[in-house]
Amino acid sequence: MEKNKFQLKHPEGTEIDKKIVVSLQKVADGMNVSCARATEVSRQLNVSMIDVGRNLDLGGFFIVDCQLGIFGKSKKTVTPAQSVPDKLEVAISSSLENGRLSCATAWELAKQFQLPRKEIAQVCEKLNVKIKPCQLGAF
């Protein structure tokens, strides 16, 4: 069987975790697993998001519907915010690593400012801040 581009990004010999893959199969819509469902699997099995992401890739699943709106079933769905509260801009600016905001930090800021995760991504779009890396390894 030929490997897809997502499977190829992992070193040869990387093993599938059958427990994770079985859980992903239970929440998948065909071979599609939403970011939110992948997050649930991570919590339920008490494994890291990156472990779930690796098994999504190795199991041939596709990650859909990013909780930040960075990608969806077709393309990026996030749009720039109309305005940016000063405190949030400072928090984002002070959280950047190599000019980027990690997905995990975006989630933390959403919780801290009591905002939906997509609103943090919208602010980042307005500020021309890239969100990377993804907790699941998608980007």
Into how many domains does the chain fold? 2
Nearest to 110 by CA among 122, 98, 126: 122
Residue 69 within any structural domain of the chain: no
Domain boundaries, position 53: 5-64
58-112 tens-digit pLDDT: 999 999 999 999 887 666 778 999 999 999 999 999 999 999 999 999 999 999 9
CA 42, 33, 74, 14 dihedral sign is positive
Q: What's the CA angle centered on 97, arms 130 and 47, to 5 degrees?
A: 85
pLDDT for 8: 72
pLDDT averaged over every residue in the chain: 92
Task: Tell me whether residue 36 is in a domain.
Answer: yes
What's the confidence (pLDDT) of residue 75? 66
What per-residue confidence (pLDDT) applies to 5? Answer: 72
The three-point CA angle 34-28-15 to 5° equals 95
Domain assignment of residue 72, yes or no: no
| pLDDT at residue 38 in the model | 98
Per-residue DSSP letter, 123: H
With 90 as the cut, is the pLDDT of residue 1 above it?
no
